[in-house]
Chain A
Amino acid sequence: MAEQRVDEKTGTRTVGHEWDGIEELDTPMPRWWLYTFYATIIFALGYVVAYPAWPLVHDATRGVLGWSSRGEYAREVAAEGVRRSAVREELARIPIERLPENSKLFEAAVAGGASAFKVHCVQCHGSGAAGSKGYPNLNDDDWLWGGDLKMLVATITNGIRQPGNDATHVSMMPAFGRDQLLKSDEIEDVASYVRIVSGQEKPSASAQRGAALFATNCAVCHGANAKGSRELGAPNLTDKIWLYGGDRESLVQTITNSRGGVMPAWGTRLDPVTIKMLAAYVHSLGGGEAIVPQPSPSPTEAAPAPSANGKP
């Protein structure tokens, strides 16, 4: 360190730094600066006493005000619950078919449904509800069981192929190969036919044979025109959407071993309001259908309506 001396002109000590002939003076700070510094120390002491500040081995000091970030969080969550309860009550009251009329409520339901979806549904349907092989894409306009709000609520509540639930969607495709209902060349023929009705292949002798086989074995569920049946959850085989793949290999697999996805009956785990919100969200993804008044009760409508007067 360079020698310390007093600057002649100002009478101030130098700090001893010299740099290119420029020396640094040890100019005193103004006193109010010092007082401000003391004030910050006093503030800090007060803070340490008032708030949790000092880490201990398993814990920390509590602070005399009893404030904690965890407590603050709990308060905020509770306040948010109170804030939302009005919307939830309104949602509980409104029948699902009336929901679209109230666009604000519908919006709130979609937002709530989006977050519920992120918790309960993404595991199978993916975070954007785009699904994957065997797990339906909920964005498209193809529905195995129906895509109107009422049906969505019913499907989410009762699930698909849930044992012990009377209202669940049931139906099972026979395993034509495994159960030796069809021989393997016959299965190939049926696959050829299916590929023709879905516009993927040119007519062939095999497909002609397949047509006859289809009429006797498959039309029961998929319909004579192969357009499927929502009552049975039988997919439309003429459209361009394939849950398990529409290529020959996948089709042979499907016909041989059958397919049948399952979905939990969320009515046992989620409250009716959350289910309504989920239905609204799924409906809003772009494939939602309008509710068509049905003259005759379908099997699913026999299920207790969970929406109107939901259990807690």
Chain B
Amino acid sequence: MASPEDLIAPKPPQLFEARRKIFPKAVRGSYRNLKWAIMAVTLAIYYITPWLRWDRGPYAPDQAVLVDIANRRFFMFAIEIWPHEFYYVAGLLIMAAIGLFLVTSSVGRAWCGYACPQTVWTDLFLHVERLIDGDRNAQIRLQKAPLGPSKIAKRVTKHAIWLAIALLTGGAWVFYFADAPTLARYIVIGQGPTVAYATIALLTATTYVLGGLMREQFCIYACPWPRIQGAMLDEKSLLVTYKYWRGEPRTHGLKRAAPAARQPETDKGAAPMPGVPSLVALAANPELAPKIGDCIDCNACVAVCPTGIDIREGAQIGCITCGLCIDACDEVMDRLDRPRRLIGYSTIADEQAAGEGRAPEHPMKRLFRPRAIAYFLIWASIGLAMLFALGTRSRLDLSVSQNRNPVYVRLSDGSIRNTFTLKVRNMQSRPREVEVSIEGLPGGALWSEGGAREGAANSLRLSVPADKVTKLRLFVAAPSDGPPRSDLTFRVRALDAEGGEDTHQIHFERPETGR
């Protein structure tokens, strides 16, 4: 708050502000429990996933989730994604983004409050801090205390544990990119790849700095998401709100007790102040009592806030809607024997309605509004399309390109030869025998580089190694009497029991004049 002098003669503006360190207080309650649960689940997913195994046979890795950069493969349980199928990953990312829109438009910044890694790890680091330094008051005292052996010991322990957590976090990440047990062994005996150590070092540093040191500063100053979210929230999105109409005017506990103890006899001799009804008058007519809000200004909600803000000032960028202030205030309300949820999840529209004495909208109506339904439909259709594509995709893939320099070659017998480069992808984890053939080219014959035209037929066999792309150059010759450009179809067909095939349409080019 500006002091009156400031308003008259403003101090020169300060360009940079020192950090205001905050000491969030521990709290108990339903949202805190939800946060515990989500933290446990997300951390478990993160740490355990790379260690899950999935049997893919002798030619492919048996790690359930693996980003195999060297071989450019992405394995996820039964699904294997090749680089040319990267649209599945793109689809997942788009789904994640739209899912975030959906969540945000319906339940506000739930991502920020519960699932964002910055939130989860900051929360973890805060608990460690409380374990070592004690709760809020002890932390503040310790902060002010001169540097002595006990303070040093506490500080060193705290940062050591933080660094250990950071190291484990950074360490867990690399296991997604290589066989986890093997890599773990190499890393421990000091023979891991440099890039693994570098990644671990980098992620350790970022986890320590972001989760331990920067905390809410990252959310407020560096994260773009709150800014984007601001544009996606509207008056019907769920926010953590302080109910002005119920809480104001704030009253301290003592003041609050006074009206309750109000007795006409105690009013003896009190000269009525102008504009303030005397207690006698009040007893006669309670309607005249000044309105007393439920908020006792105990600041419990501010003390527990991990971003150090006062929710009673209204919706603001610093609020990650974690709900901890709800738990804190509920506890206060319980003690005062007042109804809970002076602070609670609510929408701006509902708050306005409640302030005007109208009933809030039904929560279901808020959840299933057109915007949310539209997001959901987009999200679900992308998901269904991807599932469909995944279910029907062939594990044998052919792509053909034509060599264009020169486009065609006249052979000595007058026929015309085109040259094509074929890529046959065997996406199965076992070697396969396939047959490549051409269709739609009368009199056409194909032979491969290194083969002879004498043996040319309209198909040839080859074996493609497991999980590999085979590249081959094919020559196709056909009589010169044909249109300058005729359609030609290459077909690759697996010769084993499982079968499967793929085709590629391309042109066969001849000179304009048949000569």
Asked if B265 lies at the interface with its beta carbon under 8 angstroms from chain A, I say: no
| Contact assessment for A28 and B16 in the assembled complex, using a CB-CB cutoff below 8 Å | yes
Among residues 378 to 417 in chain B, which have CB atoms less than 8 Å away from a CB atom of chain A? Answer: 403-406, 409-414, 417
Determine how close the nearest CB of chain A comes to the CB of B14; give it in whole angstroms.
5
Asked if A185 lies at the interface with its beta carbon under 8 angstroms from chain B, I say: no
Say yes or no: A100-B412 contact (C-beta < 8 A), given A33-B221, A286-B417.
no
Determine the chain A residues whose CB is within 8 A of the CB of B480 once the complex forms.
Answer: 240
Among residues 1 to 50 in chain A, which have CB atoms less than 8 Å away from a CB atom of chain B? Answer: 5-11, 13, 26, 28-34
Say which one of A88-96, A136-144, A164-172, A186-194 lies at the interface with B. Answer: A136-144
Q: Chain A 120-164, CB within 8 Å of chain B: the 1/0 string?
A: 000000111110000001011110000000000000000000000
Asked if B13 lies at the interface with its beta carbon under 8 angstroms from chain A, I say: yes
| Contact assessment for B410 and A240 in the assembled complex, using a CB-CB cutoff below 8 Å | yes
Q: Which size bracket describes the interface of B in this complex?
A: 20 to 34
Contact of B406 among A130, A239, A241 (CB under 8 A): A130
| Contact assessment for A11 and B6 in the assembled complex, using a CB-CB cutoff below 8 Å | yes
User: Once bound together, how far apart are the Cα atoms of A170 and B13, in whole Å?
Assistant: 92
| Contact assessment for B411 and A128 in the assembled complex, using a CB-CB cutoff below 8 Å | no
| Contact assessment for B413 and A239 in the assembled complex, using a CB-CB cutoff below 8 Å | yes
Say yes or no: A26-B411 contact (C-beta < 8 A), given A6-B2, A31-B18.
no
Which A residue sits closest to B417, measured CB to CB? A286
Contact of B405 among A7, A29, A130, A284 (CB under 8 A): A130
| Contact assessment for A31 and B2 in the assembled complex, using a CB-CB cutoff below 8 Å | no
Determine how close the nearest CB of chain A comes to the CB of B383; give it in whole angstroms.
39
Say yes or no: A141-B16 contact (C-beta < 8 A), given A130-B405, A130-B406, A284-B449.
no
Contact of A30 among B19, B410, B417 (CB under 8 A): B19
| Contact assessment for A127 and B405 in the assembled complex, using a CB-CB cutoff below 8 Å | yes
Determine the chain A residues whose CB is within 8 A of the CB of B18 once the complex forms.
Answer: 30-31
Determine the chain A residues whose CB is within 8 A of the CB of B453 once the complex forms.
Answer: 141
Q: Is the interface of B mostly helix, strand, loop or mixed?
A: loop
| Contact assessment for A130 and B409 in the assembled complex, using a CB-CB cutoff below 8 Å | yes
| Contact assessment for B2 and A286 in the assembled complex, using a CB-CB cutoff below 8 Å | no
Asked if B90 lies at the interface with its beta carbon under 8 angstroms from chain A, I say: no
Asked if A290 lies at the interface with its beta carbon under 8 angstroms from chain B, I say: yes
Which A residue sits closest to B221, measured CB to CB? A30
Asked if A236 lies at the interface with its beta carbon under 8 angstroms from chain B, I say: yes
Among residues 403 to 443 in chain B, which have CB atoms less than 8 Å away from a CB atom of chain A? Answer: 403-406, 409-414, 417, 419
Determine how close the nearest CB of chain B comes to the CB of A268; give it in whole angstroms.
29
| Contact assessment for B412 and A28 in the assembled complex, using a CB-CB cutoff below 8 Å | no
Q: Looking at B3, B403, B480, which has the most chain A CB atoms within 10 Å of its CB?
A: B403
| Contact assessment for A140 and B412 in the assembled complex, using a CB-CB cutoff below 8 Å | yes
Binding site for A on B (CB under 8 A): 1-3, 6-7, 10, 13-19, 217, 221, 403-406, 409-414, 417, 419, 449-450, 452-453, 475, 480, 515
28 pairs, CB–CB < 8 Å, chain A vs chain B: A5-B10, A6-B7, A6-B10, A9-B1, A11-B2, A13-B10, A13-B13, A26-B13, A28-B15, A30-B17, A31-B17, A34-B16, A128-B406, A130-B405, A130-B406, A139-B419, A141-B412, A142-B411, A239-B412, A239-B413, A239-B414, A240-B410, A240-B411, A240-B413, A240-B515, A241-B411, A286-B419, A286-B449
